[in-house]
Amino acid sequence: MSDATSTFVQESQEDIQKLNNALLDLEDDPGSSDAIETVFRVAHNLKGNFGVMGYTTASNLAHAIEDLLDCIRDGELEVTPERMDLIFNGVDHLAQMVEEISDTGETNTDPEETIEAIRASIEGGESAPGETAGTTDESTGDDAVDTDRDVPLEDLADDVDIEALESDTAVYRAALELDDSGSPQVDAMFVIDAAGDEYELLRTVPTNETIEAGEFDAVFDAYVTATGDDADNEAVEAFFDDNRYVEGASVTDVTGDIIDAVTADADDSDDADAESDDSAGSSSNVTHSSKEVESIRVDVEQVDQLYNQVEEMVTSRIKLRKIIEDNELVEAEDELEEHGKITASLQDTVLEIRLVPLKKIVGNFPRVVRDISRDQGKEIDFQMEGVDIEMDRSILNELGDPLMHLIRNAVDHGIESPEERERKGKSREGTIKLIGERERDRVSVTVKDDGGGLDVEKIRSKAVEKGVMAEEEVKLLDDSEVYDLIFHPGFSTTDEVTEVSGRGVGMDVVNQVVRGVDGSINVESEPDEGTEITLMLPVSVAIVRVLFVTVGDETYGVPIKNIDEISEFEDVDIESVEGRQTVTHDGDVYPLLSLGDRLDVPDTEPDEDDMVVRIKDSVRQVCLRCSDVMGQEEVVIKPFEGVLSGAPGISGASVLGEGEVVMILDVDTL
């Protein structure tokens, strides 16, 4: 994908998100002049961008949406649920077309049915049989496609001074028909420019302006003149045959000085004639999904800062090499310290550049809530707060689908029907909030609703029914522990399978993803008051300071942020409870896990010289027994993929300076 196309895709995705949210504002307040002006401006911008890039079908659809919005803005049409559904459907198709352009550089979606429906809504009735929306005089104005393209020579006098032409000048009409390359006006302008360089270009039908705007049907005429040796149809034919922009041209049936037909293939590639997928235009194929953040915008100052730091690093490297060659060890230590400062500064800059606002992945959530609640006949006020907080791009990419699932669950299971809410003495309209907050190096993202809340007893009975726990064990759990059962694979309390949720999958995936990025989940709920699910996440997972511990002959890393205390084995209060060792600290009892046993490391019998690492209570109330502690260091953690992905007790691996690979422990799932 070219830089121009990449920029176009990014800007179009942002505009479509703005358009969706502005349309929601318009739907909530049809009388809002700010909302309609924003909607109209963004739709107009989309139409222009599609046209400039040569995506005519998308431009035609955006044009139809713009025309409908124009009628609403002028007071000719009212905002109705049916018209809003129609507009939203059109915007969904635009989003789908941008997605296709991002993936393949072209779009195969056929939006004609949607365009006709929008035109019919504008006209207040059905489209006339055979009428093609987007090509009528009403929709395209004076630049509508001229169906009588063969302009007689004398009629050229309207635009060209025929009398001023030299007597030996011949006028040729080249009738050009472009293949479906995805960029017809771009191809057409290439042809027109090439013809203008070779001959005198009198005019085109339709006009250059119409072609450049993409408001033509990939068929146009170019009238050129030639004199002297070039004034014969063979020379003109040779030009169109040889020109790389119109490969395969031919000339037939010469009448007088006007060539009746020149057919041309304006695409110089063999694979551009892609068939249109009619089904792609179906609204049933348009879905709301989470997409990875594929690009970021970088402040110029950050780029300058990065460049300066790289320069300093190169200079430092040269100094180090010279010092090493001269064997000046004292100077080497000083320069290494300076090199470390430069590296740390460079690291901070790069991590800052990778930060992306939360709104990048939740911007389409209001539209999702609108569609689901409308389908289910629910009334929901969806609010988002703190979505400007920034997180590492890699975390956001993982977070999109889990958050989408939580939102869907809140709509589907959390918020009751308007009638049920009235029976409970609540307002008919439910509320769902998505709240982002940052505290130092951690971010919390909360999804809360004022719905029915989690049914603790139902969760208990389902856990027994599904064999997750025995009835005696379930009875001993407090409410917070019961809530954690919803993250068990395949666990669901719903009795009805819907298109939104209830298939027994989802919350376990949410849990796995959050744990996989070194995060945690907290669930709180009250009957008939609602549910609040909070995801606690790091701002960045790229670089973490870890404590290296040995287990026999093997070395592992434990994130420093998870550690509360390190002690020698002989200095801790060890007791045995029901055959298991525990550590008592300040009156609290901590299970003692032997890393040798848990990680199945050979030859790791308990020894009096062992060390004990106590984990912070906020992470997990547990102590780890290891052979020794080897110090700490900042490392880059690479999460596992494939079969090792999600392995309990292991969050990833790091490669040390000597090339040694060290496993990083996930103490929460160990």
**How far apart, in whole angstroms, are the C-alpha atoms of residue 438 and residue 386?**
9
The pLDDT tens digits for 201-247 are 777 878 777 777 777 777 777 777 776 555 566 676 666 555 544 44
Q: The tokens of 172 are what?
A: 């040729």
Q: Are the CB atoms for 409 and 533 separated by under 8 Å?
A: no
What pLDDT does 498 receive? 53
Check residue 9 and give its pLDDT: 86
Closest Cα to residue 173, out of 240, 228, 229, 218? 240
Name the fold adopted by 357-538: Heat Shock Protein 90 (3.30.565)
Let me know: does 548 contact 628? Beta carbons within 8 Å. no
- DSSP for residue 606: -
d(CA 290, CA 361): 7
Cβ-contact 27, 80 below 8 angstroms: no
Per-residue confidence (pLDDT) for residue 259, from 0 to 100: 41
Cβ 610 vs Cβ 626: under 8 Å: yes
Ordered by start, the domain boundaries in the chain are 3-142, 153-263, 300-353, 357-538, 543-665
CA atoms of 409 and 190, how far apart (whole Å): 52
Q: What's the rounded Cα separation, in Å, for the pair 531 and 453? A: 5
Angle among Cα 563, 346, 316 to the nearest 5 degrees reads 115
Q: How far apart are CA 301 and CA 352, in angstroms?
A: 12
Give the integer Cα–Cα distance in Å for 620 and 562.
9
CB 56 within 8 A of CB 97: no
Q: Considering only CA atoms, which of 90, 89, 80 is closest in space to residue 47?
A: 90
User: In the block, which residue shows the tokens 């596992």?
Assistant: 640
**Pick from 669, 621, 439, 452: which is nearest to 534 by CA?**
439
How many whole angstroms separate alpha carbon 145 and alpha carbon 403?
47
**Domains 3-142 and 357-538 in one fold:** no
Fold of 543-665: SH3 type barrels. (2.30.30)
What is the per-residue pLDDT for 432? Answer: 96
Length of the chain as a residue count: 670
Residues of the chain with pLDDT under 70: 1, 3, 125-169, 178-183, 186, 227-234, 236-300, 329, 490, 492-505, 541-542, 641-643, 645-646, 657-658
Tokens of 133: 């929306």
What is residue 41's three-state secondary structure?
A: helix
The token duo for 489 is: 């694979």
CATH H-level superfamily of 3-142: HPT domain (1.20.120.160)
